[in-house]
Amino acid sequence: MTNAEAIGPLSTDVLVIGGGPAGTWAAIKAAQAGVDVVLADKGYTGASGATASVGTGIWYVDDVPEQREAAMASREALGGHLAEREWMARVLDETHARMHELGEVQRYPFPVDVNGQPIRNDLQGPEYMRRQRTRVQRLGVRILDPTPTPLRRRRGGPMPGCGRAMHALSITFVRALGLRSPVVTA
């Protein structure tokens, strides 16, 4: 029996499906916006998904125009010049903001370089996701796990629940929606 079956019917303003980086950040931002949030994961939020068990490289670039320009130019070349600059800039903005938030609010212990500056382009998944779960809970989000959610593909639409997008990109998407969608698939 899953958590949801044990609890019975629920109502909420926002249902986030998937408790990886994308889902936990979406739940945090929705809860901060003042709405009621339920987060459902088929496994255990904080331990499920690819990030929770590995070291994760993060596309973090300091907020210095020349460094951002160089980073985007490098990725453009790697992607055969198919990438859109606007999206790359949004990913860089979101990643920059979320990594600072992770250090300041979730108190993630970033290692420091020889100058004492935090190194934010790499995360230890278990530590990261454990802190994400704690933050989500502190914001009053109701976590349901284990709760596998049946997902259907809409005609012509993206496959929900794939859970492989960069989490910063997903947060950007949630923001672009203005949290009008009641369901967020992470």
User: Considering the rule CB under 6 A, would residue 20 count as an interface residue with ligand FAD?
Assistant: yes
Q: Which of 14, 28, 30, 42 contacts ligand FAD by CB under 6 A? A: 42
Q: Which of 119, 132, 143 is nearest to 171 (CA)?
A: 132
User: Considering the rule CB under 6 A, would residue 21 count as an interface residue with ligand FAD?
Assistant: yes
Among 4-12, 19-27, 112-120, 135-143, which window interacts with ligand FAD (CB under 6 A)?
19-27
Full DSSP string of 90-132: HHHHHHHHHHHHHHHTS-----B-TTS-B--SEEEHHHHHHHH
User: Considering the rule CB under 6 A, would residue 23 count as an interface residue with ligand FAD?
Assistant: yes
Report yes or no: 12 and 98 within 8 Å, Cβ to Cβ: no
CB atoms within 10 A of CB 43: 16
Report yes or no: 12 and 179 within 8 Å, Cβ to Cβ: no
CA atoms within 13 A on the CB side of 17: 17
Q: For the CB of residue 24, give the shortest distance to ligand FAD in the complex, in Å.
A: 7
Q: For the CB of residue 45, give the shortest distance to ligand FAD in the complex, in Å.
A: 7
User: Considering the rule CB under 6 A, would residue 48 count as an interface residue with ligand FAD?
Assistant: yes
CB closer to ligand FAD, 128 vs 179: 128
User: Considering the rule CB under 6 A, would residue 18 count as an interface residue with ligand FAD?
Assistant: yes
CA atoms within 13 A on the CB side of 35: 21
Q: Which of 16, 41, 120, 133 contacts ligand FAD by CB under 6 A? A: 41
CB closer to ligand FAD, 83 vs 166: 166
Residues that bind ligand FAD (CB under 6 A): 17-23, 40-43, 48-51, 54, 56-57, 148-149, 151, 161, 163-167, 186
